[in-house]
Structure 1
Amino acid sequence: MILLSIIVLMPLCFAQDISIEKLLAYNKWSSQHQRVYLNEDEKLFRQMVFFENLQKIKEHNSNPNNTYSIHLNQFSDMTKQEFAEKILMKQNIVDHLMKGISQEATHNDTNNKETQLNSKSLILADSIDWREQGAITTVKNQGNCGSCWSFSAAALMESFNFIQNNTLVDFSEQQLVDCVIPANGYYSYGCSGGAAVYCLDYASKVGITTLDKYPYVRIQKNCNVTGTNNGYKPKQWIKVPNTSNDLKSALNFSPVSVVVDATNWDNYESGIFNGCDQSNISLNHAVLAIGYDQQGNWIIKNSWSHYWGENGFMRLAANNTCGILSNNLQITA
């Protein structure tokens, strides 16, 4: 099959200066990711995109000054624009959310001043990683749906439930995608984007059920929950102040839901990521901060499967890299 593909595409290779090595890499990758396209035109287009991404990967990884490596993954036949449209939250939705989120994010804040101050007064650990405490569930895969906000919120509740009740349970992201909607009074829009804070408000009133009872299907459907006693209910939460020390303090208490600019995260493999355009931050992706290392680099749990990054996790450079300090949320009770 590989040999036949090479023969068929040989004229194209000569025209585009594509090597046999690149064709072999494409065939191996497409087999691993079970790529099926609508027609030959789309297939050829995807191959050209793949070859361009492959070249960028080789150039990046050959530079010894880079602090992180990149590699082929499920996004390698997508353009940057397609990656943003299919995987990240829509920018107009995020902008709308950011304008109205401040009041909701500090909901119950008056009840949490003592907790917040206590967390600030902690002697900070040199490093912390909540995976070592058993407080982090397995990495999920949001698929081609900008539902990262529901994964960030569910992961936040999963971790705090473990810390509070010593039980690690996978919660239903699909329930949040289907039910945290404008019709129910929440400004979140399924695969187009949303906010973790609305998930907490919803779950505090209705409860969030388990993943096995309400599985994730990668599209938004009708809400399939009734009543107000559907499982775990967070009681209180706070917005973490926008400094590195405040985020570190919060992480000594529990994981934190954060919003970042993930525009250039698509092909990250390992190392300390510092590849965001710090002069033009566009918040478009929600993840879970689960700790930091001795150098102050943040440890991130993502929702792009365990094949992405460091088994689904990332180390993000210290300080406000990719806007990580912009909008942080923590459960306190």
Structure 2
Amino acid sequence: MNIFILLSIIMLMPLCLAQDISVEKLLAYNQWSSQHQRVYLNENEKLFRQMVFFENLSKIQEHNSDPNNTYSIHLNQFSDMTKEEFAEKILMKQDLVDHLMKGISQEATHNDVNKEIQLNSKSLTLAASIDWRTKGAVTSVKYQGICGSCWSFSAAGLMESFNFIQNKALVNFSEQQLVDCVNPANGYSSQGCNGGWPAQCLDYASKVGITTLEKYYYIGVQQNCNVTGTNNGFKPKQWIYIRNTSNDLQSALNFSPVSVLVDASNWHNYRSGIFNGCDQSHIKLNHAVLAVGYDQQGNWIIKNSWSAHWGENGYMRLAPNNTCGILSSNLQVTA
């Protein structure tokens, strides 16, 4: 038996025994496990998963009973995972992100043209709100699976939206190509399901091109790169990092959607509302998503890659300013 599961059972047992496991909770578990088609290795793992589920269910009920909370949480595909497991299986590895962050200063601008575009954005009259979904510039919500490949979805989404704005064609690009090909063998430090960097996807695509999802399906496991040549589809020409202020991110969003890095440690059971549940004193960037706009209250509109069953049909509204570190590392295609 997995030592992690065994130790976790020992730790969770007092919690399980201390609470009254009611018929309602058992019914909730049975309904949830049937809905999500859960099959476990053995009875010990099933017991462990049930205890994790009951603990998460109690936290959900407690949170949603507090009228002061600005967002609700609920059961979803992550409800039999501990917070630590969720980070390990779904989010990017922290040591890899820390390593990749060191290279940001060298990649801050792709060329001199981008610096000028960034400076000129200061003089824009910003829209009171903007939502690129209403303009038809955003593809449907996708699902990265049990793989820390969010960086490829963020980058692909960024290129999909820019391609629509530039060429009036909404095409699904291949995240799997990025997972397979943006790797150390091709000169990049991104590492498939362990995590990666959206800017490296743009650099790769600018040289090789990114093909369509239809031609290169997503499977959620890193494999050998399956493209050859340098003419494989859409090629971004220029991109920039956005300055770390709310005004600059809003300015950028008036041009197009923006790839952003966030701390998603507490995002796993989000359902709806304005999310403000990050520990702002200890931000750890571990997830890449696509900002597609902001509302009149300054809440950021976020497209995630955890399926349309998560959150608000796959989206989240994130509280204004630097909530969850959203202003830390923002990337935009400009040509």
| 1:20 aligned partner | 23
SS in structure 1 at match of 2:102 = helix
Whether the 8 Å CA contact 1:104–1:198 is kept in 2: the answer is no
User: Which letter does structure 2 place at the counterpart of 1:56?
Assistant: K
Matched, 1:201 2:183: no
Query: What is the RMSD computed on CA atoms of the aligned residues?
Result: 1.1
| 1:141 aligned partner | 143
Deviation at 1:100, TM superposition (A): 1.2
| 1:299 aligned partner | 301
Q: Which of 97, 102, 126 is matched with 1:99 structurally?
A: 102
| 1:6 aligned partner | none
What does the per-residue CA deviation read over 1:267-308, in whole Å, with 9 as the maximum and x for residues that have no partner?
000000000000000000000000000010000000000000
How many residue pairs match? The answer is 320
- What is the distance in 1 between the residues matched to 2:313 and 2:122? 31
SS in structure 1 at match of 2:247 = helix
SS in structure 1 at match of 2:301 = strand
SS in structure 2 at match of 1:132 = helix
| 2:37 aligned partner | 34
- What is the distance in 2 between the residues matched to 1:17 and 1:259? 40
- What is the distance in 1 between the residues matched to 2:253 and 2:224? 35
User: Which letter does structure 2 place at the counterpart of 1:29?
Assistant: W
What does the per-residue CA deviation read over 1:78-137, in whole Å, with 9 as the maximum and x for residues that have no partner?
0001000000000000000001122124222x1223322333321100000000000000
What does the per-residue CA deviation read over 1:215-245, in whole Å, with 9 as the maximum and x for residues that have no partner?
0001000000100000000000000000000
User: Which letter does structure 2 place at the counterpart of 1:111?
Assistant: V
For structure 1, the residue ranges without an aligned partner over 5 or more in a row are 1-12
- What is the distance in 1 between the residues matched to 2:103 and 2:254? 28
Q: Could you say if the C-alpha distance between residues 15 and 268 of structure 1 is closer, same or farther in structure 2, counting changes exceeding 3 Å?
A: closer
1:137-176 equivalences in 2 (<5 Å)? 137-176=139-178
SS in structure 1 at match of 2:135 = coil
Q: Which of 121, 124, 127 is matched with 2:123 structurally?
A: 121
- What is the distance in 2 between the residues matched to 1:157 and 1:102? 22
Q: Could you say if the C-alpha distance between residues 276 and 16 of structure 1 is closer, same or farther in structure 2, counting changes exceeding 3 Å?
A: closer
Whether the 8 Å CA contact 1:119–1:253 is kept in 2: the answer is no
SS in structure 2 at match of 1:224 = coil
- What is the distance in 1 between the residues matched to 2:118 and 2:83? 39
| 2:4 aligned partner | none
User: Which letter does structure 2 place at the counterpart of 1:67?
Assistant: T
Deviation at 1:74, TM superposition (A): 0.2
- What is the distance in 2 between the residues matched to 1:185 and 1:105? 18
- What is the distance in 1 between the residues matched to 2:214 and 2:122? 37
1:1-333 equivalences in 2 (<5 Å)? 17-108=20-111, 110-333=112-335
User: Which letter does structure 2 place at the counterpart of 1:107?
Assistant: H
What does the per-residue CA deviation read over 1:251-276, in whole Å, with 9 as the maximum and x for residues that have no partner?
00000000000000000000000000
| 2:6 aligned partner | none
SS in structure 2 at match of 1:137 = coil
SS in structure 1 at match of 2:103 = helix
Q: Could you say if the C-alpha distance between residues 115 and 60 of structure 1 is closer, same or farther in structure 2, counting changes exceeding 3 Å?
A: same
Deviation at 1:183, TM superposition (A): 0.8
Whether the 8 Å CA contact 2:109–2:115 is kept in 1: the answer is no
- What is the distance in 1 between the residues matched to 2:17 and 2:270? 30
SS in structure 1 at match of 2:317 = strand
- What is the distance in 2 between the residues matched to 1:205 and 1:268? 38
Aligned residues: percent identity? 82
Deviation at 1:16, TM superposition (A): 5.8
- What is the distance in 2 between the residues matched to 1:148 and 1:87? 8
Whether the 8 Å CA contact 1:135–1:162 is kept in 2: the answer is yes
What does the per-residue CA deviation read over 1:11-36, in whole Å, with 9 as the maximum and x for residues that have no partner?
xx988631000000000000110000
For structure 2, the residue ranges without an aligned partner over 5 or more in a row are 1-15
- Provide runs of 4+ in structure 1 moved above 4 Å: 13-16
User: Which letter does structure 2 place at the counterpart of 1:136?
Assistant: V
Question: Scaled by the length of structure 2, what TM-score is found?
Answer: 0.94
User: Which letter does structure 2 place at the counterpart of 1:292?
Assistant: Y
| 2:12 aligned partner | none
Q: Could you say if the C-alpha distance between residues 229 and 24 of structure 1 is closer, same or farther in structure 2, counting changes exceeding 3 Å?
A: same
Whether the 8 Å CA contact 2:246–2:322 is kept in 1: the answer is yes
- What is the distance in 2 between the residues matched to 1:34 and 1:15? 28
